[in-house]
Chain A
């Protein structure tokens, strides 16, 4: 009985994993496949992608042509359940509502969390990204280097399936042979961006996304991932066989019923459940890690969202993987005589050094792409190609005025028409209507290319979260209050993005929509809005200035681990999800080893 309740739950587990997304899914997978008995607690409801995903639904079947609303901010068909920038009954507080100091917190309340709808972009951090302080004197070094985590990047890529290519570029690591699936064919707009950006000295290479461009190698990969563990190999081989390759249709953000992309619910949880020692309890809102007399975590307390009752479960090890801010919230709400400022917070660093990704966008219209013949450009669902950061040397020489880099995600093509097709064309048409308007929409459809910069933010003292002194959610659990501030590094970087995008659009013979923003403070998206929030329980080499060690193990409580983005000591421009999974796998291996040695 893998989905459990009060009646069917075991009395004790080896490990409790709080959260079921990228971190929780990977933690539970690794632990279960090696035989540990795991209870996973998820605050949201059970979610079954195979039967719930709107795979081919068209906008005319949805209310408001599937346009976003506060109840479904990314559109009606976005996979997110009971989530968004606001979750009903679960508020958060902000110290500032000004753009410069505002933080937005996206949450989902569903099995698999945000992995169900994410962009599937799966980039490795490079060697520089783990030692940023050594390189430029800013922020913090991680207690690990690239070589420590590289084997785990390989493993995660092999398990979940990531397409991409090895280009041998600076701080943009290659994968080991056989790890990556072939990248998809680029669109016309991708090739035009690549050709024209190259003339500006900007590299454009295949993207890396967790989408199966071909079936997984179920004959060889299981043995590579689980050497010596025949049970795990057999289960994984069977599961990999059941994941279909991409059918080049329907947006990944809806989730994937045929399991052709990565989401925790279709990749991590099925084999872990098949192994027979994973129990999952949904609608379990964890609010506290309890401390035993021996100074170890004894278990967790949660509220059953269906009955409203408080429950407590025990285990040898507790893993927090609830998302960076939610894990921080649980730690800060776990107060005791020994830890009056929150559990594992003797350093005072829990909640500190919250980071997001620097985001800035600009779009343009490209005459060369007008009136193309009919083409099916649904492709892999986005990011067939991207621009890795390319100015490491110039930056290191101090020529740019900001210390860290960004990559560029871009997209064009003849995407499925919908609620925004033909909207806002006045700048091109002079306001046509009637037959001329229809001709104009045909002409311009598919001729737009949008650019999104995704850059590194350096941790700072103004960006943190704490428990709000008064506000509680509907369960009575104290909520977070966010403080936020950018530095000149991020603002200048955002302005640099704007100039780069305009340069590329013009090099394509295109017209920039609007005016590139030269004021970085206006170019930068509010904190949290890129949904790459990490930090808050950073790992380090010194218990006085960090919350966990290199194994995601809290310095203060030896059987308490944090395996989500909270442990990031820096937030490279690379999207964090792949690194979260690699760290979680590494931490789970460590937990298994320590349990075998009876140290946990």
Chain B
């Protein structure tokens, strides 16, 4: 998001709230040009924080987890997003030194600030302390960018970005693959294609 859009968003936000400043020593790491380079080792396993410092504050991490679990809660099939490392993943993402990730960082941190401001406006508390029904009410207002009220369009864009990041965090894990019944990535002696009964059922045989 460019600065002009940000200013428009802050001017239009239902809650008046100072523009979030992504500053301080921890945030400086995110302005480094260095990523993993053009020839990283592809065989080793990487953990968030290993390649570049994570930059979310403890308070932001708490909010990140609450919001991720509102988007992907535990159900009878699979755990919640935060239970499989979504906070660490999102922290790695918004701390990454690449242009897209820096833009997402701005979107996410300003979105966090907006959530707190909106929560304060509605009930005088931070979003994290709002309770499930209050949190859901705010999310419902911003969950669809295309139909969100004009003054909520920027917040809805944030929610859309954050939902995508939460989904990326969750579905790239073993729990996410299992949730979707993905059964590939195993060597097969033969590939037989889809079963004839299924094709018949679909009118393809």
Contact = CB atoms under 8 A, between A and B. Distances in A.
Interface in B70-109: 70-73, 75, 77-78, 85, 89, 92-93, 96, 98-101
Contacts of A169: none
Contacts of A83: 38
Contacts of A62: 46
Contacts, number: 209
B202 A63 contact: no
A192 interface: yes
Interface in A467-486: none
A125 B146 CA distance: 46
Interface residues of A, number: 76
B188 A248 contact: yes
B133 interface: no
Given A430-B147, A433-B139, A368 B180 contact: no
Interface stretch (A20-28, A320-328, A420-428): A420-428
B129 interface: no
B39 A58 contact: no
Contact of A418 (B42, B156, B172, B188): B172
A63 B164 contact: no
B132 to A, nearest CB: 10
A422 B192 contact: no
A442 B179 contact: yes
B71 A434 contact: yes
Give the interface size class of chain B.
Answer: 35 or more
A1 interface: no
Contacts of A184: 191, 193
Nearest to A87: B38
Interface in A430-489: 430-435, 437-438, 441-442, 445
A427 B172 CA distance: 22
B51 A63 contact: yes
B171 A421 contact: yes
A61 B45 contact: yes
Contact of A433 (B36, B163, B186, B198): B163
B173 A60 contact: yes
Nearest to B144: A431
Interface string B13-45: 000000000000000000000011111101111
A191 B198 CA distance: 12
A71 B99 CA distance: 11
B184 A414 contact: yes
A373 B198 contact: yes
Given A69-B98, A441-B180, A185 B192 contact: yes
Contacts of B187: 247-249
A188 B198 contact: yes
A442 B176 CA distance: 10
Given A71-B36, A422-B167, A188 B202 contact: yes
B34 to A, nearest CB: 10
Interface in A173-202: 184-188, 191-192, 195
Nearest to A51: B43
Interface in B150-185: 156, 159-160, 163-164, 167-174, 176-177, 179-185
A8 B97 CA distance: 42
Contacts of A82: 38-39
B184 A376 contact: yes
A224 B171 CA distance: 49
A229 interface: no
A521 interface: no
Interface in A392-430: 414-424, 426-427, 430
Given A64-B93, A65-B172, A431-B143, A426 B160 contact: yes
Nearest to A45: B39
Contact of A417 (B51, B139, B171, B189): B171
A66 interface: yes
Given A195-B204, A250-B185, A368-B202, A430 B168 contact: no
A52 B191 contact: no
A76 interface: yes
Nearest to B163: A433
A419 B100 CA distance: 14
B155 to A, nearest CB: 12
Contact of A70 (B39, B46, B98, B192): B98
Contacts of B145: 426, 431
A426 B146 contact: yes
Contact of B70 (A58, A72, A368, A434): A434
Interface stretch (A129-137, A269-277, A377-385, A496-504): A377-385
A112 interface: no
A475 B102 CA distance: 31
Contacts of A424: 164
Given A56-B185, A374-B181, A378-B184, A419 B71 contact: no
A445 B198 CA distance: 17
A481 to B, nearest CB: 23
Interface string A39-81: 0000001000000111011111111111101111000110001
| Of B42, B186, B192, B194, most A-chain CB atoms within 10 Å | B42
Interface in B101-149: 101, 136, 139, 143-147
A196 to B, nearest CB: 10
Given A57-B42, A185-B191, 20 more contacts: A58-B172, A61-B46, A63-B92, A64-B101, A84-B38, A184-B191, A185-B193, A188-B204, A192-B202, A368-B202, A373-B181, A376-B186, A416-B184, A418-B168, A421-B176, A423-B168, A427-B146, A430-B147, A433-B143, A437-B72
24 contacts: A54-B42, A58-B174, A66-B172, A69-B96, A72-B38, A88-B38, A188-B194, A248-B187, A249-B186, A375-B183, A376-B188, A414-B180, A414-B181, A416-B182, A416-B185, A418-B172, A421-B168, A431-B147, A433-B159, A434-B71, A438-B77, A441-B167, A442-B180, A445-B180
Interface of A: 45, 52-54, 56-67, 69-72, 76-77, 81-84, 87-88, 184-188, 191-192, 195, 246-250, 254, 368, 372-380, 414-424, 426-427, 430-435, 437-438, 441-442, 445
